[in-house]
A and B are shown apart, each in its own frame.
Chain A
Amino acid sequence: MAEVKKMATRDGYGAALVKLGEEHEDLVVFEADLAAATKTAVFRKRFPDRHFECGIAEGNMMAAAAGAASMGLVPFASSFAMFAAGRAFEQVRNSIGYPRLNVKIGATHGGISVGEDGASHQCCEDFALMRSIPGMVVLCPSDAVEAEAATRAAYEYEGPVYLRFGRLAIPVFHEEGMSFEIGKGEVLADGDDVAIIATGLMVYEAMQAAEALRDMGINARVINMCTVKPLDTELVLKAARECGKIVTAEEHSIIGGLGEAVCAVVAESGIPCRVKRVGVNDVFGRSGPAVQLLKEFGLSTENIVNTVRAI
């Protein structure tokens, strides 16, 4: 296989902010002292007057962004996932979610792939937290191109959106100019022996797993579920019906994430279908190079293959 271009989804986010900023006067950015890391610095460079530094105070930032949204601006509020979804959970819940204000939360550094910073910064709970807020849209793009498309879709959507991006450079497999719709999964490979439903950086691993499985005579369907909420239940149930087996894969705790969302939909449907979840198994992360950590925590092609074979 030819060498693929690698880029972090956070880079797609930064690039999208600049492009959208050119098109829309009302787009502003709120940042909590992490502009270089969240990539809002590229927006700051282009639009210094529309980039509002809030300092290391994520709670205030989220509620201030809510106030700005109530005035008609479209704020993208950025921090690491741990602090955007974790530290500021209640501000997001009460000041953004409850009044349904048009704030976009650009959370970078989601998951284990934060790497060397270790467990304190490796947020594997953000889907669970954000999914539980009524009306919150939760997006987790699988490559930098999709990150850009998702950021655009978030801007165009009226209401709160949580966007989860990663720190690690990962393969870019989507074509520039891809179409993207909130709430719609993307079938990347056909097959009806098993369906692998993945999100974020696990999508590429799922595609690799499907290739390996094909060599073993197993035809796996691969679904990219960028929209973790609202879940594309139609696509999930179709997979349940046609494949009878589902493996989910996410860089998130197996508690409260995509896997549990899929389990709930399948269980309530009455369709006979087994589901197994690949994710972080209710443990904290630790320091180390991201690529090695992902393997160690089972967030790998190999573990998806093994899980499929065990189901």
Chain B
Amino acid sequence: MTQAEKKDLAIKATKVRMAVIEGTHSAKCGHPGGSLGAAELFTYLYFREMNVDPADPKAPDRDRFVLSKGHTAPGLYGALALRGFFPWEDIMTLRQIGSHLQGHPNMNMTPGVDMSTGSLGQGVSAAAGMALAAKHMGKTCRVYTLLGDGEIEEGEVWEAFMFAAHYKLDNFVVIVDKNGLQIDGPTAEVMDSGDVVEKMRAFGFEAVEIDGNDFDELERAFKQARETKDRPFGIVMRTVKGLGVSYMENAVEWHGKGPNDAEYEIAMSELNGKLAELEAM
């Protein structure tokens, strides 16, 4: 990708981060940490990788994305709004009565959401079912899902991994967001999942580990995923939870709470600074 393209993506990722802060500040709750860390991934998927059309969000042959770690909905909503699936102003209604932006994604309320998720471990199964159905129906569309590195403690995730490999779902890309933190602390202390790349390989995946906050590495991985045949593809991406807002970075307490007014001002000023810096490049 060219420098100009990369700059454009970086600007968009910064705007996705702003949506995360706007939404969780307005709601006074929500999950900013994981949403911020995966901003590059959301941006890359919706602006580079996936075949989707905001004017026809239910197009039968579109690519699908299932946010298995549904609590990072603010990040997904930011990318969807930026891509034009619904007005940017809707972000400010996150988690409020009457809003289509539920605390966790709802496929029947929000344009662009392909599966209702939130209960950890289930989205990956649904996504695998979609990939199987796509193959069965002769569709060429691809299915993507994002899991948390805490989420993979759910046994169902490994059931889904076996299923995906068994059915040779090479239209299926599983991304694991390895930010190293979950609600009760570092994943290594709560429940150490060890070498996830090796585990995915052992389950029949082609798998790579990358820096998930780096667009070049994301591009390389998704390209490799497209070239992989007869097996599902795993991307274990290291990210910095809370990236882009200094006091949220690698801070476990920002997993699930919204910034207050003062914290909001700091976050937005940092993100606006980043935006100005990128635009001046």
Question: Chain A interface (Cβ within 8 Å of chain B)?
Answer: 28, 49-50, 52, 54-55, 57, 59-73, 75, 90-91, 94-95, 98-100
Q: Can you give 26 A-B contacts (C-beta < 8 A)?
A: A28-B136, A54-B163, A55-B163, A55-B166, A57-B162, A57-B163, A60-B160, A61-B125, A63-B122, A63-B126, A63-B160, A64-B160, A66-B126, A67-B125, A67-B128, A67-B130, A70-B126, A90-B119, A91-B122, A91-B125, A94-B119, A94-B122, A95-B115, A95-B122, A95-B126, A99-B116
Compute how far the CA of A27 lies from the CA of B128 in the bound complex, rounded to whole angstroms.
18
- Which residues, 2 to 31 on B, are CB-close (under 8 Å) to A? none
Chain B residues within an 8 Å CB radius of A90: 119, 122
The 9 closest A-B pairs by CB, nearest first: A67-B129, A64-B129, A63-B125, A60-B159, A67-B126, A71-B133, A57-B159, A68-B133, A67-B130
B246 at the interface (CB under 8 A from A): no
Q: Which of B130, B155, B166 has the most CB of A within 10 A?
A: B130
Q: Is the CB of A98 within 8 A of B116?
A: yes
Residues of A within 8 A of B139 (CB): 71
Known pairs A50-B136, A99-B106 / 10 extra A-B pairs, C-beta < 8 Å: A54-B163, A57-B156, A59-B156, A64-B125, A64-B129, A65-B129, A67-B130, A68-B130, A91-B122, A98-B106
CA–CA, A71 and B126, complex, Å: 10
Most A CB within 10 A of own CB, among B119, B121, B129, B130: B129
Specify which of B130, B133, B134, B139 lies most central, judged by the most chain A CB atoms within 10 Å of its CB: B133
The answer to the question of B127 belonging to the interface, with a C-beta cut-off of 8 Å to chain A, is: yes
User: What residues on A are CB-neighbors of B81 within 8 Å?
Assistant: none
- Determine if A95 and B116 form an interchain contact, defined as CB atoms under 8 angstroms apart: yes
Contact assessment for B132 and A64 in the assembled complex, using a CB-CB cutoff below 8 Å: yes
Contact, CB under 8 Å: B160 / A99: no
B170 at the interface (CB under 8 A from A): no
The DSSP consensus for interface residues of chain A is helix
Which residues does chain A contribute within 8 Å of B129, judged by CB atoms? 63-71, 75
Please tell me if the beta carbons of A55 and B162 are within 8 angstroms of each other in the complex.
Answer: yes
Q: Using Cβ atoms and an 8 Å threshold, which residues of chain B touch A94?
A: 116, 118-119, 122
Residue interface bits B58-72, CB-to-A below 8 A is 1, else 0: 001000001000000
- Given the complex, which residues of B lie within 8 Å of A52, measured CB to CB? 132, 167
- A residues less than 8 Å from B134 (CB atoms): 71
In the docked arrangement, what's the CA distance between A68 and B127, Å? 8
Partner of B115, one of A59, A65, A99: A99
Query: Which of A49, A61, A71 contacts B130 (CB under 8 A)?
Result: A71
Question: Taking the nearest CB of chain B, how far is it from the CB of A247, in angstroms?
Answer: 39
B108 sits at the interface (CB 8 A): yes
Please give me the residue from chain A that is nearest to B141 by CB atom.
A71
Partner of B156, one of A49, A60, A67, A100: A60
User: In the complex, what residues of A have CB within 8 A of residue B122's CB?
Assistant: 59, 63, 90-91, 94-95
Is B107 part of the binding interface, using a Cβ–Cβ cutoff of 8 Å? yes
Q: Could you tell me if A99 and B60 are in contact, using CB atoms closer than 8 angstroms?
A: no
Q: Which of A55, A60, A70 contacts B125 (CB 8 A)?
A: A60
Tell me the B126-174 residues at the A interface (CB within 8 Å). Answer: 126-134, 136-137, 139, 155-156, 159-160, 162-163, 166-167
Residue of A at shortest CB range from B145? A67
Q: Which chain A residue has the least Cβ–Cβ distance from B107?
A: A99
Q: Which of B60, B108, B160 has the most CB of A within 10 A?
A: B160
- In contact, A73 and B125 (Cβ under 8 angstroms): no
Which residues from chain A contact B116 at a C-beta distance below 8 Å? 94-95, 98-99
Indicate whether B114 reaches chain A with its CB closer than 8 angstroms.
yes
Q: What separation, in Å, do the CA atoms of A54 and B108 have in the docked complex?
A: 27
Closest to B121 in A: A59
Cα-based distance from A66 to B156 in the complex (angstroms): 14
Question: Within 8 Å CB of B166, what residues of A?
Answer: 55
Q: Which residue of B lies closest to A77 (CB)?
A: B129
Contacts A59-B125, A91-B125, A94-B116 given: A70-B130 contact, CB under 8 Å? yes
Contact of A70 among B114, B121, B136, B163 (CB under 8 A): B114
A163 to B136, CA, bound (A): 25
Residue of B nearest to A62 (CB): B125
Contact of B108 among A60, A63, A99 (CB under 8 A): A99
B137 touches A72 (CB 8 A): yes
Q: B66 to chain A: which residues have CB within 8 Å? A: 67
- What is the distance, in angstroms, from A157's C-beta to the closest C-beta of chain B? 18
Question: CA separation between A64 and B131, bound complex, in Å?
Answer: 9
Question: CB-nearest residue of chain B relative to A73?
Answer: B133
The answer to whether B136 and A60 have CB atoms under 8 Å apart is no
Most buried by A among B139, B159, B166: B159
- Distance, CA A133 to CA B217, complexed state (A): 43
Complex alpha-carbon distance, A110 and B265, angstroms: 58
- Of residues 194 through 251 on chain B, the ones whose CB sits less than 8 Å from some CB of chain A are none
The reply to whether B163 and A64 contact each other, CB–CB distance below 8 Å, is: yes
